[in-house]
Structure 1
Amino acid sequence: MRNSVPVGAVAACAVAALVGAGGTSSVAALSGSDERVGSERPTLVGWARLPAETYAAGTEPSGSALGTEPVNGVKVPFAHQPIQGFSGIVKNEDGSFSAISDNGYGKKNNSADFLLRIHRIKPDFKRGLVRVLGGISLSDPKGLVHFPLTRADRKLTGADLDPESIVRAPDGTYWIGDEFGPYLLHFDRAGRLLQRPIPVPGVKSPNSPDLQPGEEPDIGDSKGLENLAISPDGRTLYPMLEGTVTGDTPQDLRIYEFDRRRATFTGRRWTYHMDAPKLSVADLTAIGPNRFLAIERDNLKGDAAALKKVYKVDLDDRDQDGRVDKTEAVDLLNIANPRELGTPGKTFEFPFFTIEAVTVLDDRTIGVLNDNNFPSDATRVPNRPDDDEFIAVRLTESLSRP
């Protein structure tokens, strides 16, 4: 199995801390002054982990529908809410990040006691650890959700919605992409829903509360709004589906345009073509007007993993083939690791099943996080749940370069 040694047993990262003047992010220092190190391919310059068994202190029990037998050696149910699986991330001005978990345990029927939450986290690359600094819970106190919720107090759970992507607007509110509808969701700074869930036009998943009797879904289970980006000027959202809509060309995914000020889809959309059938696109983040980073991956892990990449995406379709242009930025299974951060060896691999968050740290460095699907996935070490890992990767060229 790839990287099968216990990650926690490896020496902490020998990397400068990701903190600059005034506490703001200063990731340029991560790679040190030697630009030649690993310059022929992207290089790992920071690694930190959030231990799998990390729980939010003082929160309610969770995992009651997972049975009573241990999962990968972890006793279930849990006394508190696990802080697991990062599916989306937003960079904060103080060097921390706002990150969301998905619906909890993968299905509606086993996640009713998983409370949806935006966590505030901060990687400490010097010590190789991710700190949890707090967070906010998601709720619907105004009764805007148009279908019955699990809880009478209208705190949102993984049986209600499946949040998979997140951006923050200039006004400080959050927009989140959901897979169950799929819906766009708008929350205030405190995590309170501001608008009725906005459905993706003409698309319904098998879990959609809006399916009518006898109506067939037109997108696969867990293939909704895994991806969501916001334009640099904050005016436009770019929701993107994870799976192909029935009737579309296989391997083609839809990217939509959403006018944030009018709170409506504009009707404009683009097509992203995946490298092969049965792949997924698991995150989308803006790097300029009409330009993005996207995570494209297979649904395999460990030794079986074959494709885990980050691409630069251009909506302008310069080659005029009717699909957005994309160029490889990082092969996540082949990252130079001259300092042997995180795992031994001069090549670092990120072979997780669900790699679902990418963020820009500076013009040459990106951060990538996995969703560990706690407690189910055991990729690094057999029968031991995966940690959540936050890696910083120095690219071979500037993100601003077309």
Structure 2
Amino acid sequence: MRLTLALLATCAALPAHAEETFPATLAGHAWLPALTLVTPPADAPRDAWLSGKFTGKTRNDSAMSAPADTGKNYGNHPTDLSLPFIGQPVQGMSGFAMNRAEDGSIYTLTDNGFGSKINSPDALLFFHRMNPDFTTGKVQRLETVFLRDPDHKVPFRIAYEGTEGRYLTGADFDPESIQVLNDEIWIGDEFGPYIIRATADGRVISVHQTMLDGVALNGPDTPGTVVPAAPGKDFRVQRSGGYEGMALQPDTNLLWAMLEKPLLGDDGTPEGDFLRVMTFDPASADWTGDSFRFKLAEGAVAIGDFNFIDATRALVIERDAGEGDAALACAEGATDTSACYPMPAKVKNIVLVDTADRDAEGYIRRIGHIDLMNIADPDGKAPEGMKPAEGPFTFPFQTIEDVMRVDDTHIIVANDNNLPFSGGREIGKAANNEFILLSVPELLAAH
């Protein structure tokens, strides 16, 4: 009996299911230069021709006059770029749509601009069609569509309220995820968080507030949240914690909207190491009432994208907040961080989940993952200057926010480069928009 009890105790201490780590091989690499700019529409306010004027402590109308850096947490490394920009920055990609355009190009989008409501009122919001060419290593931008609200569907005052075009800006929404359904665009926003429905040419059709268990979810940047506001009571969504991932489920056409960070509990602290997932029905333009949970791996603090690969299985990017090659990590206690990374990238995973397999608490089963900090490159696909100091190829960016299935063996992953505030690949240089093609047959075949 003692032996049996001891054995049971040992079994109870073991994990119920050990998640498998699958290999990943670099099959292609393409990139869009960091400083890639587009001109605003002809009928946009003149204000939009100089973007990033409010990223400092005071307004700055002098083009390219304020050098940018990565900030204290990342070593204050210069990025060799200066604000404000003449035109609008294409900057990092913040989501891939599952379905491609008729010509095979990828629908992707740029986020709110420079990181917050306060500093982005002159950053226009738009999505793109892009085509990464893994033979030439170049990314072609085929089309850019600007979001606008001519029919006054946005339920609050927008930054360009009194203008004729009523173009949306980063002071209005933070678009982070995109899907295409029936020739319409569905966008997940972080500020509300909201789901935005728009036409293919960028006109807003409707805006939908988030509901969980019959109660509206708000964040500190939701219109109507005013200071002083108590975290966990007046708002439960963390800042920059809205819809970083929003997957379109085949067959059902339901949108599975996943929050980037854990919700706050009544005490103002995260309710756990998991993220909420709510389902929205575009056909009825309403929430289904169902919600689920995605458990983060140890060390992960947020997700970056979420896309189905078949009727029930999906890919999720989970990540820590680190940036840069671990081989160039700063020594503990270092005061000079000019040539090292004080918080290097460690946890950057692409996780395969089965949304149809859930436990009694609603946790979606994690099948396995690949490690983006350990990518084999036997054929030397990584361009010169983008290889790590030592070891395998890595994707060491703070915000990796795009993943989609290509075929039965390949996926594409891309980063949001937070222009001009993120580095990661090379100290002293702004991160480019990198698109990597990965061969991951074992991951995609797993069940």
Structure 1 length as normaliser, TM-score?
0.85
Q: Within 2, Cα distance between the matches of 1:210 and 1:314?
A: 37
Distance apart, 1:140 and its partner CA: 0.8
Q: Match of 1:367?
A: 412
Distance apart, 1:197 and its partner CA: 3.5
Q: Match of 1:121?
A: 130
State the one-letter code of the partner of 1:50: L
Q: Within 1, Cα distance between the matches of 2:250 and 2:300?
A: 31
Cα-Cα RMSD: 1.9
Do structure 1's residue 388 and structure 2's residue 370 form an aligned pair?
no
Identify which of 109, 114, 121 aligns with 1:105: 114
Q: Within 2, Cα distance between the matches of 1:365 and 1:262?
A: 34
Identify which of 5, 27, 35 aligns with 1:45: 27
Distance apart, 1:235 and its partner CA: 2.3
SS of the residue corresponding to residue 83 of structure 2 reads coil
Identify which of 311, 318, 335 aligns with 1:296: 318
Q: Match of 1:15?
A: none
Q: Which moved more, 1:334-343 or 1:265-274?
A: 334-343
Structure 2 counterparts to residues 1-400 of structure 1, below 5 A: 41-57=23-39, 60-67=49-56, 68-71=65-68, 72-90=79-97, 91-151=100-160, 152=163, 153-169=165-181, 171-201=182-212, 202-211=216-225, 216-233=234-251, 235-247=253-265, 249-276=271-298, 279-302=301-324, 303=326, 304-317=344-357, 322-342=362-382, 343-344=386-387, 347-397=392-442, 399-400=444-445
Q: Within 2, Cα distance between the matches of 1:113 and 1:214?
A: 27
SS of the residue corresponding to residue 131 of structure 2 reads strand
Distance apart, 1:400 and its partner CA: 4.9
Q: Within 2, Cα distance between the matches of 1:329 and 1:179?
A: 26
Q: Match of 2:60?
A: none
Decide whether the 8 Å contact of 1:145 with 1:197 is kept in 2: no
Describe the shift of the 1:320–1:336 C-alpha distance in structure 2 as closer, same or farther (beyond 3 A): farther
Q: Match of 1:3?
A: none
Q: Match of 2:5?
A: none
Decide whether the 8 Å contact of 1:251 with 1:277 is kept in 2: no
Decide whether the 8 Å contact of 2:410 with 2:441 is kept in 1: no
Q: Within 1, Cα distance between the matches of 2:410 and 2:220?
A: 38
Count of aligned residue pairs for this structure pair: 362
Distance apart, 1:41 and its partner CA: 2.1
Decide whether the 8 Å contact of 2:351 with 2:369 is kept in 1: yes
State the one-letter code of the partner of 1:226: E
Distance apart, 1:318 and its partner CA: 5.8
Q: Match of 2:9?
A: none
Q: Within 1, Cα distance between the matches of 2:277 and 2:224?
A: 22
Structure 1 runs not aligned, ≥5 long: 1-39
Structure 2 runs not aligned, ≥5 long: 1-21, 42-48, 57-64, 69-78, 327-343
Q: Within 2, Cα distance between the matches of 1:341 and 1:299?
A: 26
Q: Within 2, Cα distance between the matches of 1:213 and 1:80?
A: 33
SS of the residue corresponding to residue 397 of structure 1 reads helix
State the one-letter code of the partner of 1:238: W
Describe the shift of the 1:296–1:196 C-alpha distance in structure 2 as closer, same or farther (beyond 3 A): closer
Q: Within 2, Cα distance between the matches of 1:196 and 1:353?
A: 29
Distance apart, 1:200 and its partner CA: 3.7
Distance apart, 1:113 and its partner CA: 0.7
Describe the shift of the 1:41–1:188 C-alpha distance in structure 2 as closer, same or farther (beyond 3 A): same
State the one-letter code of the partner of 2:373: L
Distance apart, 1:176 and its partner CA: 0.5
SS of the residue corresponding to residue 54 of structure 2 reads helix
Decide whether the 8 Å contact of 2:195 with 2:210 is kept in 1: yes
SS of the residue corresponding to residue 66 of structure 2 reads coil
State the one-letter code of the partner of 2:278: Y
Q: Within 2, Cα distance between the matches of 1:49 and 1:120?
A: 15
Listed one character per residue, the Cα deviations across residues 329-380 of structure 1 (whole Å, up to 9, x for unaligned) are 3210001101222234772100100000101111110000000000111111
Decide whether the 8 Å contact of 1:103 with 1:116 is kept in 2: yes
Percent of aligned pairs sharing the same letter: 37
Q: Within 2, Cα distance between the matches of 1:212 and 1:277?
A: 32
Decide whether the 8 Å contact of 2:23 with 2:442 is kept in 1: no
Decide whether the 8 Å contact of 1:145 with 1:196 is kept in 2: yes
Q: Within 2, Cα distance between the matches of 1:49 and 1:64?
A: 27
State the one-letter code of the partner of 1:371: D
Distance apart, 1:190 and its partner CA: 0.7
Describe the shift of the 1:197–1:264 C-alpha distance in structure 2 as closer, same or farther (beyond 3 A): closer
Q: Within 1, Cα distance between the matches of 2:171 and 2:192?
A: 12
Q: Within 2, Cα distance between the matches of 1:148 and 1:277?
A: 39
State the one-letter code of the partner of 2:54: A
Q: Within 2, Cα distance between the matches of 1:212 and 1:290?
A: 40
